Amino acid sequence: MLLPPVDRPMRQMIDWTMMSKPMYMPQFTLDDYENVYADRHRLQDVVAKWAKAKPDSPAILSADGNRAVTWSEFDRDTTALAGELLRMGFAKGDFLVTMLPMTVDHVLLEYGCFKIGVIVAPLDLRLSAAEVIRALEILRPRGFAGLGVKAPFDFRELCRAVKAQCEWIEHFIVADSDEAIPGTQTFAAIAERANRSGTATLAEIAAGVTEDDGALVIFTTGSTGSPKPALLSHRNITVQNMCLCGTFFGGDCGPRTLVNLPPSHVGGQTEAMMSTLFGGGTAVLLEIFDASRSLRAVSQHRLEILGQIPVMFNLEWMLKEYERHDLSSLKFAAYGGNAVSRPFVDQLAAMSPVIGTGLGLTETAGFCTYIQADAAGREMILAGLGMDMPIYPCTIRQPMRADGNAGDELTSGEIGHVCFSGPQTFLGYVNDAAATAKTISRDGFLYTGDLGFKDAAGLHLSGREKWVIKSLGYQIFPGDVEAHICSLEEKVANCVVVGVAHEVVSEAVVAVVEKKPAVELSHKELDRHARSLASYMRPRHWILLSPGQMPLNRVGKPDYLRVQEMARREIAALRARGAWDSGYLKSGQEQGSGADEE
């Protein structure tokens, strides 16, 4: 199925010329949410609204075009599934863990759960059996849904391991399988029963689900520790949907969006898909990211919105056939998750007339600051992470007090803890009160774990609190050093800066640098480049990596834990040779030299 031609009343059309001005941003307030958007506070309310307003328009569509669901079908089918889930014994507050790609059936299953208060927890398809079982032990779900045997996946071994160690799971659901797996039931069988049965008890049950109830668990990516299950309410998500859809997607004009991020990530779930649905648009689902198929989907379905992490854009731009794809339908492209270079922004601005980014967090259900510009104003995109919203204000604060209350607010330009307060703050980490208390203060401020400052241009990050390097009495923000090293744009593909223990200065700076393909880069050249940094910020040691060797986590961000371990191992070898703790001031401070020249 192809999407029909765009035919919208002029009063619904977004003024993209106005939108393309640097830093333009609507200001969404709590009053807007409570009054203008009062009919969309629960995820199922969004479906009900558009099923009534535009029943025959497509809500979700598979990227290959072989499966489409209209808004009326979306509402009807998820209501039927909700009723069947009730008959299976699922109840409000139960968890259903899924390990599925971004398919139409997966979305229908999720929304069936939302209607009766069952909390969905999608897991990354690449997790090991041990990681899956850890997640299941935390959540103790009533059901677990996976793929079964479907190339290139074969979940039989995982299913056996889960059954052996998670005896409390009552229902094993196989969404799609070429072979029957004993002890499981198929999604197709559940859907068939749902369509045959009535939903007489559903209205009463569904009415008991409130906007403050949990809807979705997204595990944090674990770049700075073990992944934690962040519980998001309907209200958390729909407030973010209102802000993101209204700022980036054009509001209630029915945006057409490619959804090619995984369902285990807020980028795929709450940002790209749910924000599109919030505006009555069409979410085009690509089950697993593929650069070529992503571009074909944009061209085939004349998609308007594209949101990805930088590595996904880079893979698309590297395709030999990139220039042959017709991307003229794109109106807005956003990136998130990583800092980017000027060439990246230039390429993105050539791809779409309006581009944007902001700070997005699992614990805030997605974006919480916003910045956008057209090609002429694209320098603004490099200036920071944009502005917050009145409904969810950002403040820079002192550390959380010992009594659990938030620290004092700092003034403009002062570096401190980046905090938010308001209805996007998640409900907490499931079954981890201690971690929740370290993240949400008693007076309701979310401590993001980022350090930064605010000024007239908005929010600027200085680094993660956990990774601040303390050397010679100074605080060194890794992001500042990384940005300087990455300014060698023609040679440096990626960089991570960490601190490693040092007997003289407490911690010393180690830079792990990934080279771009087919370039020469030496320690000496990096040393020369680092001399424009303050002496205490200069890396004491460089670790050079070949293209593609930077350790990444499951969403394509540098994995700081693995990088730090890599640095520690290398420094341990240097220390064993007596080449680390001695002579720091001479080589590291006065000369800024790196160790072990090529």
Do 154 and 219 fall within a single domain? yes
Residue 527 included in any domain: yes
pLDDT attached to residue 471? 78
* Predicted confidence band of residue 222 (pLDDT cuts 50, 70, 90): low
Instruction: Return the exposure string of 239-277: e unless at least 16 CB atoms fall within 10 Å of the residue's CB, then b.
Output: bbbbbbbbbbbbbbbbbbbbbbbbbbbbbbbbbbbbbbb
CA distance 222 to 134: 14
Same domain as 167, residue 113: yes
pLDDT given at position 211:
98
Binning pLDDT at 50, 70 and 90, where does residue 201 land? low
Q: Is residue 516 part of a domain?
A: yes
12-16, 340-344, 577-581: the lowest-pLDDT one? 12-16
Q: How much of the chain, in percent, has pLDDT values that exceed 90?
A: 68
Residue 13 binned pLDDT confidence (cut-offs 50, 70, 90) = very low
pTM beyond 0.85: the answer is: no
One-letter amino acid for residue 268 of the chain: G
> What pLDDT does 480 receive?
81
- Is residue 354 one of the residues assigned to a domain? yes
pLDDT at 227 over 90: no
- Domain assignment present for residue 595? The answer is no
Q: Of 465, 482, 506, which residue sits at a domain end?
A: 465
**Banded pLDDT at 578 (limits 50, 70, 90):** confident
Is 169 a domain residue? yes
Supply the mean pLDDT for the chain.
88
CA distances (Å), origin 47, targets 77, 79, 146, 212, 423: 11, 11, 25, 18, 21
Residue 598 falls inside a structural domain: no
Half-sphere exposure of 427 (CA within 13 A, CB side): 19
Give me the mean pLDDT over the 452-460 stretch.
Answer: 92
Residues 534 and 444 in one domain: no
Q: Is the pLDDT of residue 496 over 80?
A: yes
Residue 556 is predicted with a pLDDT of 75
Q: How far apart are CA 159 and CA 166, in angstroms?
A: 10
Determine whether 579 is exposed, middle or buried from the number of CB atoms within 10 Å of its CB (0-12, 13-18, 19+). Answer: middle
What's the domain count of the chain? 3
Do 530 and 445 fall within a single domain? no
At a CB cut-off of 8 Å and minimum separation 6, what does 195 contact?
A: 77, 80
Q: For residue 182, what pLDDT is reported?
A: 86
Residue 198: predicted pLDDT: 63
* Contact between residue 216 and residue 270 where contact means Cβ atoms under 8 Å apart: yes
Of 531, 495, 498, 499, whose CA–CA distance to 515 is shortest?
495
Domain membership flag for residue 597:
no
pLDDT given for residue 3 in this prediction: 55
Residue 283, phi-psi category: left (phi > 0), alpha (psi -120 to 50), beta (remainder): beta
Exposure string over 18-45, b if 16+ CB within 10 A, otherwise e: ebbeebbbeebeeebbeeebeebbbbbb
How many C-beta atoms surround the C-beta of residue 412 within 10 A? 9
202-216, 257-271, 480-494, 496-510, range with greatest mean pLDDT:
257-271
Mean predicted confidence (pLDDT) in 227-255: 96
Give the CB-side neighbour count of residue 292, counting CA atoms within 13 A: 3
Distances 404 to 387, 446, 459, 535, 586 between C-alpha atoms, Å = 27, 12, 25, 37, 43
Q: Quick one: pLDDT at residue 200?
A: 55
Residue 397, both tokens? 């604060």
Residue indicated by tokens 């601190």:
499
* For residue 587, pLDDT beyond 50: no
Q: Is residue 389 part of a domain?
A: no
Higher pLDDT: 4 or 339? It is 339
- What pLDDT is attached to residue 7? 38
Q: Among 134, 310, 225, 336, which residue's Cα sits nearest to residue 564? A: 225
> Cβ contacts of residue 187 below 8 Å, gap of 6+?
105, 109, 145, 173, 174, 175, 176
The pLDDT of residue 290 is above 80? yes
The DSSP result for 222-283, as a single string, is -TTSS--EEEEEHHHHHHHHHHHIIIII-SSS--EEEE-S-TTSTIIIIIIIHHHHHTT-EE
User: Is residue 131 within a helix (H) or strand (E), and if so which, with residue range?
Assistant: helix 129-139
Residue for token digits 């990774």? 467
pLDDT of residue 11: 27
| Domain boundary residue, one of 383, 412, 446 | 383
Do 84 and 196 belong to one domain?
yes
Q: Between β-strands 446-455 and 416-420, what pairing exists: parallel, antiparallel or unpaired?
A: antiparallel
Length of the chain: 598
Is the pLDDT assigned to residue 15 strictly greater than 60?
no
> Do 268 and 411 belong to one domain?
no
Please indicate, yes or no, whether residues 307 and 403 belong to a single structural domain of this protein: no
pLDDT at residue 73 in the model: 97
pLDDT given for residue 479 in this prediction: 82
- One-letter amino acid identity for 243? C
* 129-151 tens-digit pLDDT: 888 999 999 999 999 999 888 77
Average pLDDT over residues 463-476: 72
What's the average model confidence in pLDDT over 153-182? 89
Rg, Å, the chain Cα set: 25
- Expressed as residue numbers, the domain containing 498 is 468-590
Q: Which residue has the higher pLDDT, 167 or 13?
A: 167
* pLDDT tens track for 355-406: 999 999 999 999 999 999 999 989 888 888 999 999 999 999 999 999 999 9
Asked whether residue 370 falls in the same domain as residue 401, the answer is no
* Whole-number pLDDT of residue 152: 78
Chain center to CA of 295: 21
At 575, which helix (H) or strand (E)?
A: helix 560-576
- Taking alpha carbons only, the member of 440, 441, 442 closest to residue 429 is 440
**For 107-123, what is the mean pLDDT?**
97
Q: Is the pLDDT of residue 19 over 60?
A: no
pLDDT at 347 over 50: yes
Q: Which of 490, 489, 455, 486 is nearest to 383 (CA)?
A: 455
**Same domain, yes or no, for 454 and 541?**
no
**Domain holding 506: CATH number?**
3.30.300.30
Question: Is the same domain home to 452 and 472?
Answer: no
| Across 286-306, average pLDDT | 97
Boundary (domain end) residue, out of 448, 465, 482: 465
Q: What confidence category does residue 102 fall into, taking pLDDT thresholds of 50, 70 and 90?
A: very high
Better pLDDT: 232 or 196:
232
Q: Residue 24 pLDDT more than 80?
A: no
CA distance 479 to 129: 34
pLDDT at 4 over 80: no
Nearest 5 degrees, angle CA 92-CA 97-CA 102? 115
* Mean local confidence (pLDDT), 158-179: 91
CATH number for position 409: 2.30.38.10
% of the chain residues with pLDDT over 70: 89
Q: What is the CATH number of the domain that holds 237?
A: 3.40.50.12780
Q: Are 143 and 97 in contact (CB under 8 A)?
A: yes
The Cα angle at residue 500 between residues 495 and 501, in degrees rounded to 5: 170
pLDDT at 597 over 80: no
Return the amino acid letter for 401. R
CA 221, distance to chain mean position in Å, is 8
Q: For residues 189 and 299, state if they share a domain.
A: yes
Q: Does the pLDDT value for residue 344 go beyond 80?
A: yes
Task: Quote the Cα angle for 567-568-573, to 5°.
Answer: 100
> Do 250 and 264 sit in the same domain of this protein?
yes
Q: What is the mean pLDDT of residues 196-225?
A: 79
